[in-house]
Amino acid sequence: MPDETLKNLIEHFSKHTLSLANVPEDELGNGYEYLIKQFADDSGHTAQEFYTNRTLVHLMAQMLEPKAGEIIYDPTCGTGGMLISCLAEVKRTSGDTRTMGLYGQELINITAAIARMNLVLHGVSDFDIRSGNTLHEPALIEGDRLKTFDVVLANPPYSIKKWNRVAWQSDQWGRNFLGTPPQGRADYAFFQHILKSMDPQTGRCAILFPHGVLFRNEEADMRTKLIEADLLECVLGLGPNLFYNSPMEACVLICRTSKLSERRGKILFINALNDVAREKPRAF
């Protein structure tokens, strides 16, 4: 933009006090989310590191049905969009969001700071966003075990190769209960961290994964143990082109620590490939 346009823009906004007292928190927060999306649109291949398609995030939140009084967690929280989506879902169902607790961890310090700012702009006061590597040094601990949550949502980084596989084989938090993933793909390390972070009674999770987690041979034994543990409730296939600048196919895995009696021993498979409407190269 030319200097004159920027000057006029600053002078225009200087006439208004954009505080939480003067601007409804939803409007201010939604404006911030919009700017994050625009940054993702303009930033090329790194966008998926911090921005997940919001329509898909809302779907995941609705499937988990978060409620007032519950605590929500995102172990790879980015800018906090999934946590805010759960907050919005509770508001939509007329729940009291003041009784909720929002927790997250994010590897990149600046992105974690953006997440904290995002939550403040959405009027959230009860939150705890930590910086650090979730696999190597999980930050949310209670005593000698991981803190557990009612709802966990995540879009973990895909198939990362630089992670401490040797340490995982004797993980002090017991997150290797399904096995040790291959060095070139840490997807099931994040998966097991999430499963271990669910409340033993009320815990449920929704994870956005690349489609390969469902059929890769090197993870077959872990998939078998997952099914035998009866934690997997639903596999939602969504097809390709859901990620910024990537045609890879995606799926959402829904897990629950305590299934309803009629759902025990069963897994629901949904092929939603033909139920996704697309605008431009992305899904909405």
DSSP annotation string for 119-166: HHHTT--SEEEEES-TTTS---EETTEE--BSEEEE-PPSS---S-HH
Closest CA to 113 of 190, 10, 36, 187: 36
CB 85 within 8 A of CB 60: yes
> Would you give the DSSP letter of residue 110?
H
Q: What is the pLDDT of residues 232-268, one digit of tens each?
A: 999 999 877 666 556 778 899 999 999 999 999 999 9
pLDDT-derived band at 46 (thresholds 50, 70, 90) equals very low
Question: Does residue 170 or residue 35 have the better pLDDT?
Answer: 170
Weakest mean pLDDT among 68-82, 207-221, 265-279: 265-279
Does the pLDDT value for residue 48 go beyond 90? Answer: no
Considering the entire predicted model, what is its pTM?
0.84
pLDDT at 44: 47
Per-residue model confidence as pLDDT tens digits over 65-85: 999 999 999 999 988 989 999
- Say if CB 90 and CB 67 are below 8 A apart: yes
Q: What does the DSSP assignment read for 211-237?
A: GGGGT-GGGHHHHHHHHHTT-EEEEEE
Whether pLDDT at 40 is above 90: no
28: pLDDT confidence band, cut at 50, 70 and 90?
low
Task: Catalogue all structural domains in the chain, each as residue range(s) with its CATH number.
Answer: 21-283 (3.40.50.150)
Sort strands 278-279 and 282-283 into parallel, antiparallel or unpaired: antiparallel
Q: What is the mean pLDDT of residues 91-104?
A: 92
Whole-number pLDDT of residue 196 = 97
The predicted pLDDT at position 282 comes to 45
- Could you tell me which residues come within 8 angstroms of residue 89 by beta carbon, excluding any fewer than 6 positions away? 58, 61, 62, 65, 66
